[in-house]
Each structure stands twice: as structure tokens, then as C-alpha cells.
Amino acid sequence: MTKNLRVKSSKLVDETYRISFKFNGTTYYGFKGDTLASALLANNIHLVGRSFKYHRPRGIMTAGSEEPNAIVQLHNGTSRTEPNVRATEIEIYEGLVATSQNCWPSVKFDIGGINNFLSPLLPAGFYYKTFMWPASFWEKYEYFIRKSAGLGKSPDVPDPDIYEHKYIHCDVLVIGAGISGLIAAKTAAKNGFKTLLVEEKSYLGGSTIYQDSEFFKINNQNSASWLEKEINEVKKIENLEIKTRTSVAAFHGYNFLLARENLTDHLPIEQRENKTRQRLLKIRAKKVITATGSIERPLIFDNNDRPGILLSSAIKKYADLFGVACGEKNILFTNNDSVYETAISLIQKGIKVQAIIDNREEIDSKLIKETEKNNIKIYKGYTIVDTFGYKRINSVSIMKLSKDGQKVIGSKENISCDSLGISGGWTPAVHLFTQSGGKLKFRDDDQVFIPNTYPSNQISIGSCNGDFTLDEILINTPKLLKEFLNIKKTEYENIEIYSAFNKSKRNIWLLPSNKIVGKTKSFVDFQNDATAKDIKLALREGFRSIEHVKRYTTTGMGTDQGKLGNMHALGIISETASSKMGELGTTTFRPPYTPLTFGTIVGRNVGKYFDIIRKTPIHEWHVENKAEFENVGQWKRAWYYPQNGENMHEAVQRESKAARDSAGILDASTLGKIDIQGTDASEFLNRVYTNAWSKLEIGKCRYGLMLNEDGMVYDDGVTTRLDENHYIMTTTTGGAATVLGKLEDYLQTEWPELDVYLTSVTDHYATISVCGPNSKKIIQKVIPEIDLSDKDFPHMSFKNSKIGKVKCRVMRISFTGEQSYEINIQANYAKSVWENCMEAGKEFNITPYGTETMHLLRAEKGFIIAGQDTDATMTPIDLQMDWIVSKKKFDFIGKRSLYRSDTIREDRKQLVGLITDNPEEILEEGAQIVADMNKTPIEMLGHVTSSYFSPNLKKSIALGVVKGGKNMMGQKLIIPMEKKQINVTVTDPVFLDKENKRLNA
């Protein structure tokens, strides 16, 4: 089993630097520069996983990011375990531990493998058809599916690594550092453009960098040596930045791109400490040059998925770049000239090529002649009809193709092998181009989609633009660059090129077999186990759109997004349904091009940096006094202050009682505050609130409701007239930003003629609210100079005053129904004023209370909380607040909507009070309200919006919205709960002090 399949003279690996790693529990050795895939292949390991549906053994198939099979889990301790890593991309490092994914209990003995024998029962749409019915069985199915189709494990502890985001602005971004990308980057940078070149691999040069044979020459040097000199020059250019191991994940509109730069994944673990692991680059480029290359196509024939079957270009790359032979008896199978390049490379390295099977009948090129010179048998006009070997391919059956390519003829011949390289031609990697909104066109000559129209300032060059051969690239790329960069000349004008590659190709999307399609397993999507048979079945069942066929068969829906087989899926649809390829379109390629880690996506926005935290200037006092906090938007608000081991209920009951019996104090600094000035300020308020403002005297406060234009309440608060043309508006804590935005919108767009200026001052002033029968005495102690007599300073009025030398505003307004004063003071003095109030209130048992008690107190009084008792469907009339809607005003925002046919319906949901028959029973907020439990279906009349046990009334109280509730006073309703029904009576929403005696006391 373990053999050394290294051959000499590799480009990339350093054979003097040995690295040990573990795969599925066994220790192996590779060299620095190896990927996990190349190191495994060097150890003669092809079998690396099981397929998703049939659990068929699968091997390494490619040498790049298009890999569908070799998906592994990395284990670097529990917190750094990572699923879905492509073995073809991860560079090995000392101590790497990896296991196969999607196999249970082991890759060699896989229980799900039985699905392979059951496969006649697992056609396309199998999961949709079977597991949908009966619905009650789903739990059992789910257990089975999840257990056997494990797609890796995510770590269950926080990620210890550092990730970051970085913005980059450049003149020209070049994606891909193959030969065309390098030419583009060099040309752009040398012409004065600030250029960024990104390359997903660790090295520059693409596939040309190991194209070192006499059959490909540039200026009389082999193409690899020519390119190496170019790279050395490129590295020296000043305004050219090069980033390797950087993969562009998304190409959005307006040349905005996201790329992931991998900084430490290739380093030994101990060298990664305190370094940024991955960086998300947010690139805005004036011009983008896409040079993403092309991906070799597989061929679609029976059992084309066995371990040991690779893309022909991957076999060449493993030999040339990593010095690894994928097998000792290689067969190559093709419909074009590419495999002959592979054959010549293998011959040069002394690796045996058993035979070449070529779909084409009449072929002739210098590459083929060279191959034949080495006594390699070429079967011309043949196809493979089957392959053998369970965990590793051991032979193939071949037959002659008919003239039209639709059938096989003659007799079968078997050839043994241990590796099979396949090539179905090349598919331009147009994923990023189409992500950006680019439209493709179909080129019939060689059956490829290539870029047609560009949505932004960008071009595609090289093989992603359909220029596959060296001469096409070197002739077309400079031409395209001159036009795109608007330059007169490039240094590639009189270059001499020699390419032995012949472009002839015989394209057959689904190769014929001596068996009927229904009896074959010709895989189109290797990761998701979609076969040609599945696609044909989907078409028979009536699916026509490529997007529907994709979802029904799951073709192209794996982590590789079908980079290999999507074209064949299209081809088979086109042939079966007799429609033209160009008219079918392609499925949508969505970002990311290759999977991103969550760490990269969130960057530094984790833990306490997840979101902005807003704290009031009194916050530290709340912390010192053991407050529990609640999040209100971005604010941290004191929720309640438990004492002596109280739970929340006990603390809130105590706080609520104290506030009404003597004195309570609340930090109300989070309320939104908007300073409004200008000669039209009164008129402006008239238009944005439902009630009238023109006659409000200076020094008075007024409560207002704001509606949307559709008549629905969206915010409320008290606004105070500070002076003739000067008001201060308060909004709810959560509504502050939207209210300001809305007011600005109307001022700028509907009423630009109004002389009004708005300034948010929420953070500038802190608000301390002292309430209760003793509040007046406390405020008097804190501000001795102020006259608090009811005559001089009645409810709903305001005074300017001073605490020491510091100016403050005092409002007598109340959200609790108690006599109550609010001190507004410059934020940096707030904590000391708060402490003054606590000191002054000591003799009155002043009790700090949090938002929960505030909510309870206002509910006793029937005051609404916009957003809790209202949603976007409640008018002031629905809230039984008709008194606040001016009948006289000509207009205000939302007025006209209050008498639309829908808003005047009597059976709208309306706000009411609810009293439980059992005064100890507290309703659940959100619980449904019904009248009749016997009628089916049970009609839902509404729901509970606020509910508390009132310590002052000594009973349970609640607010709710009920259809037609206004006319149901005294009526009995039912709150059905999971295990019981609670009987309630509809009441007025004001439970306490209807006459407002306490406010004015």
C-alpha cells in the first residue's frame, strides 16, 4: 500500500524539508510546498472520502479549488477544527491532522455504502419524494440522513483566531496571476496605474509556469523560463502590489470585490500565535481585469467517479509541480489535445503511460506525433464504456464510437491501469464575471460560454475569455489591454510564439455506452452524486428550466458549486430536450466563489465589538449598585436593582410600591432628544403631531403622538416649548433615530419652505426622573432656588434652573401617574446630580427603579408603550386616544388615513384593559384572546400586549388589543393557554387614579 511515488525535478516542493502529518489516524510524510492532496498521492493514497448520496468511494480528482471530492476536516485542537477544507488547496504544515468527511464509521468501511447498492431506489428528487411523506416520519428520516451524511463538524467553542477586514482602493485590480494576469499587471503598473494583483495559489505563473517542453516557446525560450523572467521583473515594480493565497470570493456591482487573504493556514501551528489568520479585503477598483483561467472538463461515462480517476491536467500538475506520480500505469482519456501534454510530461519523468483513448478519429498534431514516437498506444475514435475497481480503479473497458458519436460499436476491450486521466476540454472560469452582472455568449466552435457584455469597467483576458492556447493569449491579451487601459503600445508586440497545440475537439456531452442510460452511473456532479440518468429523469418529469433541473437533481449545489460538471448538465439537457445551448442560459453563480470562514466574514466584530454599546453617563452608578441590565436597541438600561437576593419579581414589586408610596428615581437619559429651532417650529410640530401646538405657552410641555402617513402610531413623547422659536422634543429610546430621520425627510422634501432646524441632543443631556408623593421635597433639597409650588410650577410645565453653577432644565411631567420631576442636565454632571438626589431622598427612602418597574407603573396608569402596545396597525382611535387627535387642524401627517374605509371599521383591534377573574393569575404577554372555545376554527380576537402584577392595586392587570374591544367593556373573554384557560373581563385601560389626583397633588 505505502509506496513512494515521488519523481525528481519538481518545481514547487523542497525535498530537503520533510513534514509529517496525520490523515485518518496514520502518520505520513510530505515535503514543504506540498498540498495535502499531493502529499497523499505521493503516499499512493487516492481514496479520501465518500460521496454524499450513494457513499461511493471517492478520490482526489483535481489539483485546485474546483475539487469536488477531497473535502476533509482539519483538527488543530477542538477550537480550531475546520470542516470542508479542500485537500487540493491546503498546504501541509508540521502537525497537520486531517480526517475524511462524510463517511461513517470509516472511509474504508462506510455503512452508507449500502446506498450504492440501493441506488435504483435513489433517483433524482428522491429526498423530496420520499421524506416528505408521511410528515410524522420526518424525525426518523432526519436521524438517519444526518448520521450517515455528515458534512463535517463545526467547532463548538469560540474561534481563538484573529481575523480582520481591510479596504483597498486601486486603479487596476488583476484577478489571477497566470500568464495573462501577469502580462496585464505588468502592463498596467508600468503605465502608471496603481495595480493590485491577487492569486489564490501560493505561487505565481499559473499552469504556464510548469509548461517547460520544446512544444511551447516564447521568443525561442520554453514558455516556463520566459514566464519566470517576467515574474522576476513584475516583483520589482513599485506601484504593483501582489497578494498570493488570496482568493476573490465575490465580484459585486461598481467594481466592489471581496477577497480572502490567507495569512497563516500554511504555517506550523506554533508560528501562528498572535498573527491575523485571514483577512477580508474589500476592494474598490477603478478597473478590473479578470484572468481567472479555465477549468478542465471531465468526461461523462459509466462509473467515471472511481478513486484514481483525475483530470488529466491534475495528473500533469502533480507530476510537474509537486513531483508526484498519480499512478504507475496511467491511462489518459480525451476528446482534445490536452492529454498529450500530460503524456509528454509523464514520459519525460519516467512515469508509464499505458494507453491513450481519444474520442477523435482523425487526429494529427506535433504533440500526438511525439507521443506516438514513445510507443504509446493511442485508441483513436474510442470511448471508455465502463471502469472497474471499488476503492481504486484497476481497469477500463473501451469500445469504438460510431461515426455520429451516438453509439458504441464492435467489441469491448479491457485495459488495466491504476490511474485514469480524463479531459473533456476546457471551461472558462466565468464565475466572477457573471457575479458582477456580466452576460455570457455561447461559442459553438468549441462549446464554451465566454464573456459578452461587461456591466462595469472591466475585461476578461486569457483562458477565462476563451483564449486557451499560448498564441491566442499572447496575441489577444496585449490588444485587449491597449484598448482597456487606453495605451498605445505594450512590450508584447513583436513576440515570437510557438505552440504545438491543435485545437480540434470532439464534444460529446454524455458518452454512449453499451448499456442503457438507466443502468449506468455517469456522474455529472461528483460531490452531490447527480448522474446523467437523474438529469434525464428530471426532464422526463417535466422540468425544463435549468434552474429547476439544478434544484431537483441537486446538480451544482455542493460546496464546489458544480465547477466541473455544470456544462455537461447543460449539454445533456440541451441534447435531450433538443434546445440550443446558447438559449438555455446557465445557472446563476453566486458568491462566494470558494467557501469563506465565518471568522473572515465577521472580522473583528466579535464579542464586545459585535455591536456598539451605548451607556448613559450614570451607568457606573447602576453597575456599582448591582443593577441588572436590559438591552434596549444599543443601549444598556438598568432593568431592576435586586436587593438581598431578591428575584426580578420581588425587586420590581418593591420598587413599584416605593415609587407610589414615597419616592422613586429613574435614569431616563436614553430617551431620544431633538432640539427644534426656527420661526416655523410651531407650525412644523402642528404638522408632525396629531394635536395642536401653536397655542402652547412658553414654559409648557405637551404629550404628542406621531403617525405614519397611513395613520398608524409609530412614536410618542413629550415636547416642551423652551422659547418662542425653540422646542425640545423627546422620543422613545428605540425610536430616536427613525423619528429624527423622518422629520428631516419631511423638512427637506415636502416642506423645504419651513424655517426649522433639527439637532439630535440625546447624548448631550442626561435625564433624571424623580417621582412619588415626596418627589417635590427631594427636588427642592437638590435645587433650593427653584419655586416648586403647584401654582407656579404645575404639572406639564418647565423651568430653567441651576444646580450650583450648572444650568439645568426641570420638567414636571410624568410617565408613572405620580407627581414627577425630570432634571435634564449636561451629561458629564449627571452622575453627581443623581448622587445628590439619592442623598437628598435618603430620608424618604428614595428607591432607584429600572425599566421593568417603569413599565409596570405606566401600565397601572394605562399609558401605552409605542412598539409594545402598538405595532404598525394601531391608529390613535384604536388606542382609545381620540382626545389627542385634533379635529380643527387642517392637516397633519396621517390625518387623511384616519377616515379611510379600513381605519373607521368598528371591528378593528382596539386597546383595552384586561382583569383576570383570579387576581393572582398573571397573563402571558403575547397570549391569544378568544371569546368562544366551542366554535371551530376558534376565532382569535387579539392578544395580550402588557401584563403585570400590580403591587399598588394588589391584583393582576393587563393591556391587550381586541377586535371591537371598545364596545366590549365588562364582557368576559378567554385566554387559552397550553394546559388551562384563563377567564378575563374587558375593562378601561386606565387602572389607577383615573382622575389624575396623584399627578397634581
Partner 1 sequence: MFLINCPFCGEREQSEFKAGGEAHIVRPKQPTELSDDQWAEYLFMRKNIKGIQFERWNHIHGCRKWFNMVRDTSNDEIKAVYKMGEKPPVK
Question: Contact positions toward partner 1, by CB under 8 A?
Answer: 252-254, 256, 284, 437, 455, 709-710, 741, 744-745, 748-750, 752, 890-891, 895-897, 900-901
**Nearest approach, Cβ of 902 to partner 1 (angstroms)?**
9
What are the residues whose beta carbons fall under 8 Å from the beta carbon of 267, sequence distance 6 or more? 93, 275
Task: Judge whether 581 and 442 are in contact, CB under 8 Å.
Answer: yes
Nearer to partner 1, 142 or 709 (CB): 709
> Minimum distance from CB of 279 to partner 1 (Å)?
18
Nearer to partner 1, 95 or 253 (CB): 253
**Nearer Cβ to partner 1 (891/995):** 891
Rounded CA separation 464/253 (Å)? 19
Q: How far is the CB of 195 from partner 1 (least distance, A)?
A: 19
Report d(CA 430, CA 453) in Å as an integer.
12
From the CB of 282, what's the least distance to partner 1, in Å?
9
Instruction: Find the shortest distance in angstroms from Cβ 749 to partner 1.
Output: 5
Q: What cell does 341 get?
A: 501534454
Check if the beta carbon of residue 157 is closer than 8 Å to that of residue 79. Answer: yes
Q: Give the amino acid at 741.
A: G
Q: Which is nearer to partner 1, 212 or 878 (CB)?
A: 878
Q: How far apart are CA 455 and CA 440, in angstroms?
A: 11
Question: What would the DSSP string read from start to end of 819-871?
Answer: -EEEEEEEGGGHHHHHHHHHHHHGGGT-EE--HHHHHHHHHHTT---TTTT--
The conformation of residue 110, written as its DSSP 8-state character, comes to B
Q: Which is nearer to partner 1, 29 or 256 (CB)?
A: 256
**What is the rounded CA–CA span in Å between residue 527 and residue 50?**
9
Q: Report the residue number, 542 or 741, with the smaller CB distance to partner 1.
A: 741
How many Cβ atoms are within 10 Å of 443's Cβ, its own excluded?
15
Least distance (Å) between residue 894 CB and partner 1: 9
Q: Measured from the CB atom, is 479 or 900 closer to partner 1? A: 900
Q: Which residues neighbour 523 within 8 Å (Cβ) at sequence distance 6 or greater?
A: 300, 304, 305, 529, 530, 531, 565
Nearer to partner 1, 644 or 748 (CB): 748
What is the nearest approach in angstroms of partner 1 to the Cβ of residue 284? 7
C-alpha cell at 109: 468501511
State the nearest-atom distance from the C-beta of 255 to partner 1, in Å: 8
The nearest distance, CB 890 to partner 1, in angstroms, is 7
Burial class (CB in 10 A: 0-12, 13-18, 19+), 795: middle
Q: Which residue lies nearer to partner 1 by CB, 402 or 759?
A: 759
Minimum CB separation from partner 1 for residue 805, in Å?
Answer: 35
Q: How far is the CB of 900 from partner 1 (least distance, A)?
A: 5
- The CB-of-631 to partner 1 minimum distance in angstroms stands at 22
What are the backbone angles phi and psi of residue 796, rounded to the nearest 5°? 65, 40
Which three cell numbers, joined as nine digits, stand for 853? 418597574
Measured CA to CA, the distance from residue 555 to residue 125 in angstroms comes to 11
Taking the C-alpha atoms of residue 357 and residue 339, their distance in angstroms, rounded to an integer, is 10
What is the nearest approach in angstroms of partner 1 to the Cβ of residue 905?
13
| Distance in Å, CB of 108 to partner 1, minimum | 48
Distance CA 88, CA 191 (A): 36
Q: Whole-number minimum distance, CB 248 to partner 1, in Å?
A: 15
Between 201 and 895, whose beta carbon lies closer to partner 1?
Answer: 895
Please, which residue, 475 or 758, has the CB nearer to partner 1? 758
**Other CB atoms closer than 10 Å to residue 540's CB: what's the count?**
10
Assigned C-alpha cell, 638: 438598568
466 close to 480: Cβ distance less than 8 angstroms: no
Gap between the Cα atoms of 530 and 115, Å rounded: 14
**By C-beta, is 331 or 706 nearer to partner 1?**
706
Nearer to partner 1, 128 or 899 (CB): 899
| 36 contacts: CB under 8 Å, gap ≥ 6 | 21, 23, 30, 70, 72, 87, 88, 90, 91, 92, 96, 98
CA 71 to CA 528: how far, in whole Å?
13
Residue-by-residue DSSP string for 168-225: EEEEEEEE--SHHHHHHHHHHHHTT--EEEE-SSSSSSTTGGG--STTEEETTEEHHH
Q: Measured from the CB atom, is 10 or 460 closer to partner 1? A: 460
- Cβ closest to partner 1, residue 233 vs residue 745: 745
- Least separation in angstroms between CB 855 and partner 1: 31
52, 115 contact by CB (below 8 A):
no
Q: Kindly tell me which of 264 and 436 has the beta carbon lying closer to partner 1.
A: 436
CA dihedral 518, 520, 521, 523 (to 10 degrees): -90
Closest to 770 in 3D by CA, of 719, 815, 703, 704: 815
